[in-house]
Amino acid sequence: MTHKLWVGTPCYNAIRYIGNCVESLRYACKGMDYEHIVVDGLSSDGTVEYLREQSDIRLVSEKDSGMYDALNKGIAMARGEIVGHLNSDEQYSRRGLLAAWAALDDKNLDAVMSPTVMLNGRLEFMQLFNQVVRPTVRDVHWHMPVQSCSLLYRKVLWDREPYDTQYRLISDHVWFRKQMELGLRLAVSREPIGIFVWHGENLSSTQAHPKENALADLDRNAPEILRAKRLYRLRKLMVGGYCRVHLNYDFIRDGEVVSHSHFFPRLKIRRFNKERKS
C-alpha cells in the first residue's frame, strides 16, 4: 500500500511521552493516508512493549548511532511522498497539519513550515514560536528558522541529501541549510503544525555532547549576515509576526484530545528555568 504521508519518530526510553505522540498522530491524521514508523534504539523502560501493542505502527527496534541515524533508517523504509519528523515527546495539531497538507497540493512546493506551539512538561502553554517569515538562504546562515516538528517536506529532498549522522543534535539545521542552498521551494502556513514539549529532559538539554555548530564555516558577525538579521526582523514585523493574534490548537493529554484557544498568546519567554519546564 502506498502512503502519501510518512511520519518518522526516533525514540529511546520514551515511555513517559510516546503514548501522547502516537495518539496525537492518530487524531491529527484521521481520514488521511499515512504511515507512522517508530525507530527505537533498544529501549528498556517499556517503550518497545507499548509500541508492539500498537497495530498501526511499524516498529524497528535495534541499536543505532543516534537520532539522525534512526531517522535515516526510517525514511529509507518510507512509502510516502511527504515526510514528517515527530520526536517521541512532540505532537501534531490537527488543524495545522491539515493546512500544511492542503498547501502541498501545489506540486511546485517542496516543503511547508509553520509556527510551533511550545508547552511545558505539564502540557501547559508556554509560548508561540511564531515562525511566519519565509527564510532566505542568508537567513539559515545565522539561525534555524523552523522546528523540525513544524516542517513537512517531499521525500525526494531526503533522497538527494540524507541527514548527516556525524551530528547528534543539529543535523536538522545542517540539512535544512543544504536544502535551502539547493533551491528549496518553501511555503509558510500560519497554522502551527507542531507542538514541542519543553520538559527539561529534551535531548538538547541533557546530552553531554561536544558543542556542535551548524555554521562553523561562517562568520556570523559578517556585515552581510548582520544585515540579513535586521531584514529578517523587518520582514517579520511587516507580516505581523510580532502581533499576538488568536491561536487555536489541539493536543493529546492522557489519551484525550484537548483543544485550547489563546487570544493573545505569549510570543517570547524572557526568563526561563527548569521549574517552568516540568
pLDDT tens digits, residue range 126-178? 999 999 999 999 999 999 999 999 999 999 999 999 999 999 899 999 999 99
Look-up of cell digits 555548530: 213
Number of H helices, E strands in the chain: 9, 13
Q: Break the chain into its structural domains and give their ranges.
A: 5-277
Say if domain 5-277 classifies as CATH 3.90.550.10.
yes
Query: For the residues of 184-205, what is the DSSP string, one character each?
Result: --EEE-SS--EEEEE-S--HHH
Mean pLDDT of 81-109: 96
d(CA 180, CA 121) in angstroms, rounded, equals 33
d(CA 266, CA 256) in angstroms, rounded, equals 25
User: For the segment 204-255, what is each residue's pLDDT rounded down to a tens digit?
Assistant: 655 545 588 989 999 989 999 999 999 999 999 999 999 988 999 999 999 9
d(CA 115, CA 146) in angstroms, rounded, equals 7
pLDDT confidence band for 1 (50 / 70 / 90): very low
Mean pLDDT of the residues in the chain = 91
Cell of 198: 519543553
pLDDT value of residue 145: 95
pLDDT value of residue 73: 96
